[in-house]
Amino acid sequence: MRVIVVGAGPGGLTLANGLRQAGIEVVVYERNQQHGRSQGVSLHLEDQATTALRACLAPEQLDMMSAAVGARRDRVLSLTEQDGALVVSGSQSFENAPHLSANRRPVDRQLLRAVLLSGVSDVVRFGTALTGFEQRSDSTVRARFADGSTDTADLLVGADGIGSVVRRQYLPHVRVLDTGRCTLLGATPLSSLAGTGLPELIGDNPAKVQVTGTTMIVAAVRFTAPPPALRERWQAALRHGGVSEVEDYLMWALPTSAQHRGTDDSSEAVRRHARELTAATHPALRQVVEQARPATLARLSIGSLTATSPWTASNVTLLGDAAHAAPGFGANSAMWDAQRLNELLIEVAGGKQGLLAAIGTYEEAMRGADARPASFPGARPQGRPTGTSA
């Protein structure tokens, strides 16, 4: 069996690793170049993602992963300013929040990508955008790419994100909805916040603080292994993922409305916008914005997908955000999809069931994932603490 995966996001790369481990031929096509700009700063790994990584990665990758995650987080703090000082005014436990595991841990997106790439870098074709596909009478599927090349496989997996080209052709009635929300993001080295007291005040838990017209989320990412040890031990893998700097940092997010976004997405424009939103706040938070590393400054739009009724299984399928946008939980969902699909494809390769039956089973479970709620700062599902990641 040969599988084409479109998209080297967390979902596509987790699947590719799992297939690789199982000896199934896989090739990944990614439209961006290898060291393209990352989508955000850090993610929360819930139990679903951790289980998926355990199932799909090689032992040395898991070793690297466990050194690359931050400390466990179990609550979100509220900060306010009192007599010129930032203080913790409240705290809400994640304990009763559905789908948020007690073991949730932050992971740096670029480090996660580096770990995932280290297992499959030789089968990822960067800079190759899928433009369409053709399902052929001999049960194979032929993928077409922007550079004029084609490739053929037994299964095509669209792991190409919310704007999925695969989904647009396969399920053309599904539309992307603009939620009207976007989030400004950045990462600020903890070393540049020395003396502000902020990293010590919040410890390892995320915190929210009211700024002009929105709630700013800040959370320290302190790696389990000291960054210099990480750098030295996994140099080669870090290079694959384009990770140039590993140091403890404070990630911050400012959810805002897209109408204020403007057209300039450069890092300086993002910093200017973040400066405006935090102008009237405590100096420590202003310093967080001023000292953010330019490469991490980003403005991400939040989209969602219209609902779809079940479709007939074929040799084309979808995974992660391409199938069900779950802002704030999407990477966990995508990795969970990848693990499930991987397990079923291993059964197909072992002759235990046919491909279409396996895809049907996978898609039924994957569609159920739409019900999973979001935990992301901009998304505020009812009855749950404001999310904490980016």
Ligand X SMILES: Cc1cc2nc3c(=O)[nH]c(=O)nc-3n(C[C@H](O)[C@H](O)[C@H](O)COP(=O)(O)OP(=O)(O)OC[C@H]3O[C@@H](n4cnc5c(N)ncnc54)[C@H](O)[C@@H]3O)c2cc1C
Query: To the nearest whole angstrom, how small is the minimum distance from the Cβ of residue 373 to ligand X?
Result: 12
Residue in 62, 123, 129, 349 binding ligand X, rule: CB under 6 A: 129
Residues in region 13-42 near ligand X by CB under 6 A: 29-32, 39-40
Q: Which amino acid is at 140?
A: T
CA angle 146, 149, 151 (to 5 degrees): 115
Query: To the nearest whole angstrom, how small is the minimum distance from the Cβ of residue 9 to ligand X?
Result: 2
Residues in region 145-184 near ligand X by CB under 6 A: 159-161, 165, 183
328 binds ligand X (CB under 6 A): yes
Output 83 or 122, the one with its CB closest to ligand X: 122
Residue in 18, 320, 360, 373 binding ligand X, rule: CB under 6 A: 320
Residue in 16, 38, 44, 341 binding ligand X, rule: CB under 6 A: 44
Q: Are 344 and 362 in contact (CB under 8 A)?
A: yes
Query: To the nearest whole angstrom, how small is the minimum distance from the Cβ of residue 354 to ligand X?
Result: 26
346 binds ligand X (CB under 6 A): no
329 binds ligand X (CB under 6 A): yes
Number of residues in contact with ligand X under rule CB under 6 A: 38
205 binds ligand X (CB under 6 A): no
Q: CA 156 to CA 67: how far, in whole Å?
A: 33
Output 322 or 359, the one with its CB closest to ligand X: 322
Residue number, nearest CB to ligand X: 330
Output 247 or 321, the one with its CB closest to ligand X: 321
Footprint of ligand X (CB under 6 A): 6-12, 29-32, 39-40, 43-44, 129-130, 159-161, 165, 183, 185, 300, 302, 320-322, 327-332, 334, 376, 389-390
